[in-house]
Structure formats: C-alpha cells, structure tokens
Amino acid sequence: MIKACIFDLDGVVVYTDQYHYQAWKKLANHMGYDLTPFENLMLKGLSRRDSLDTLLEMKGIRACENEKLMLSELKNKWYRRLLKDIDMSAVAKGAEDLIHDLRSAGMKTALASSSKNAGIVVKKLRLEGLFDVIVDGNMVSASKPDPEIFVKCAGMLKVDPNKCIVFEDAQSGIDAAKSAGMHTVAICEETSLKGADISVKTISNVSSNEIIKFNSN
C-alpha cells in the first residue's frame, strides 16, 4: 500500500513549466539561437545551472563561469517577471481535488521541486496547506535525476521509499524517483516518459482510487 504521495511543482501542480520554457527560449534567442518545445524537454526538472549547461552544450556554446552566472541570473530575472502575474488559473486542473482526496484517505503528501523559486509560487498561490513537507532547490545539493530530493522527502515524512509514489512531468524526475526506490506517475501531454508505473496526460486524469489501491509490493 502507498503511504505517501510526492508531487513535483512545475508542470505537475502548477503550469509554471510554460514560464520556465518562455524564459529559457528568451535566453536562447538572446544568444542568437532558438529553443523548440522538443529541445526544452531536455531541460525540464533540472536545476537552473544544469539546465543552462544542457542548453549551452545543445547549441555548442562555450561560456566561462562569469558568463554562466550572468546568463542564469538573466533567465531567472525573466522567469520571476512572469511569476509576478501568476494567479490561481496557473494551478493545474484537478490537482487540489486529487491532493485533498489522497489526504482524506490518510496519505501523507510532499512537494519536491528542483526550483529555488518554488517557495514564491507556493506562497503566492497559497498551496502550503496541501503538503506535510516541502523540499525545494534550496534544500538539496544535487538536482534531479539525483534521488536526493525524494530521499529527503521520504525521510522527513518517515515513510519507506517503497511506499512512496512520485508525480512527475520530467524524465529527470522519473529517473530520480526510480533511483530512490519509489513508484511513479508520469504526467506528460506530448511524449511518454520512460519507466513510469502509470502514465497520464494531465493530473486531472489521475484517479485517487488507483493511487490508493496501487500495489507497492
């Protein structure tokens, strides 16, 4: 039986993945390149710095440490600007109901986001009450696909990793959850993610009963 549900933030609970994409695309344009939605899949779920390194490598751009710092600050400035107008319409349809249903059934819930801006989003949209534990990019040293963030959540919730199920929209997140020994639900509109136990197009397609009855053994 599953005892804890761990949710990614960007692209799962809120549609901020679109804002991250817009900001990365603007940065790519700033450097004279484009970034397609398909190329953006490689960046999803990674920390800001790992995303930047992936983007630079993808486009064959060399940059020194200072330039990388400047570029990642620029991307963050643009991302934060997009966050200014964020409101409840950015919350994924069905996310709050699903989390309420799972909590009513006795599940513990956690948020595990690589984003250092997760706190701003959670506070602005008043989502704190949905989670027993919140772990973000400021609290880990290695980002997804490293399992650290999920292992940390399980430890704070005091639940065995094998009794946890992770909801993710990025391949790096599915890989991280698998490495942590957890079960996975892939939320992915365009393409399928490899290795997930359950796959749905949006979080509104997740059945709380399926999660509650999921056989974790």
Distance from C-alpha of 57 to C-alpha of 170, rounded to nearest angstrom: 19
Subset of residues 154 to 183 that bind ligand B16, contact rule: CB under 6 A: 170
Site string for ligand B16, 127-146 (x = CB under 6 A): ----------x---------
- Does residue 169 interact with Mg ion by CB under 5 A? yes
Residue 5 interacts, among ligand B16, Mg ion, none and using kind-specific CB cut-offs from 5 to 8 Å, with: none
CB nearer ligand B16, residue 92 or residue 159: 92
The token pair that represents 210 in the structure block:
């399926």
Rounded CA-CA distance 217/160 in Å is 12
> In terms of CB distance, is 12 or 71 closer to Mg ion?
12
Q: Is residue 8 involved in binding ligand B16 (CB under 6 A)?
A: yes
Rounded to 5°, angle at Cα 206 from 205 and 210:
135
One residue of 2, 4, 5, 8 binding Mg ion per CB under 5 A: 8
Establish if 136 lies at the interface with Mg ion (CB under 5 A).
Answer: no
Q: Which of 4, 5, 6, 10 binds Mg ion (CB under 5 A)?
A: 10
Does 147 sit near ligand B16 (CB under 6 A)?
Answer: no
Q: Which stretch binds ligand B16 (CB under 6 A): 41-49, 95-103, 122-130, 187-195?
A: 41-49
Helix 65-83 and helix 48-59, axial crossing angle in degrees, nearest 10: 120
Signed CA dihedral, 80, 138, 147, 141: sign only: positive
Count CB neighbours of 53 within 10 A: 16
Active site residue 10: yes
CA-CA distance, 81 to 65, in Å (whole number)?
24
According to the binding rule CB under 6 A, does residue 116 interact with ligand B16? yes
8 is catalytic: yes
Spacing of C-alpha 107 from chain mean position = 20
Q: Report the greatest alpha carbon distance in the chain.
A: 51
Closest CB 13 distance from Mg ion, rounded Å: 9
Q: How far apart are CA 128 and CA 185, in angstroms?
A: 22
Residues annotated as part of the active site: 8, 10
Residues at the interface with ligand B16 (CB under 6 A): 8-11, 17, 20, 43-48, 51, 76, 113-117, 137, 170
